[in-house]
């Protein structure tokens, strides 16, 4: 295993953890009624993940199903990170 592959794999792991934190904070609604740290945590996760998700979202807009919109861009980025992470750790 190469050093570059390992470092890249760890960076992608950290990014994946940020994506999971973003997902949890967005789903729980904790930000709306919760403590101020939750709002700051949500802002941090969006600041670090939005530059990657936004270009995908421009190409793949959310899918509407009734009154709910599913953000497929988030799912595509998450799956891509999983695949790239496994490739990086196998280098």
pLDDT at 31 exceeding the cut of 60:
no
pLDDT at 48 exceeding the cut of 70:
yes
pLDDT band for 16, please (50, 70, 90 cuts). very high
Q: How far apart are CA 60 and CA 54, in angstroms?
A: 10
pLDDT band for 79, please (50, 70, 90 cuts). very high
Write down the pTM of the prediction: 0.84
Count of residues in the chain: 91
pLDDT at position 26 is 82
- Give the E-state strand segments of 1-91 in sequence order: 63-65, 68-70
Tokens 């709002």 locate to: 39
């Amino acid at each position: 295993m190469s050093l570059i592959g390992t470092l890249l794999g760890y960076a992608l792991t950290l990014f994946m953890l940020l994506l999971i934190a973003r997902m949890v904070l967005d789903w729980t609604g904790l930000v709306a009624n919760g403590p101020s740290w939750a709002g700051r945590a949500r802002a941090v996760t969006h600041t670090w993940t939005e530059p990657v998700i936004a270009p995908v979202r421009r190409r793949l807009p959310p899918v509407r199903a009734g009154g709910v919109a599913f953000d497929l861009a988030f799912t595509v980025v998450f799956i891509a990170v999983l695949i790239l992470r496994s490739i990086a750790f196998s280098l």
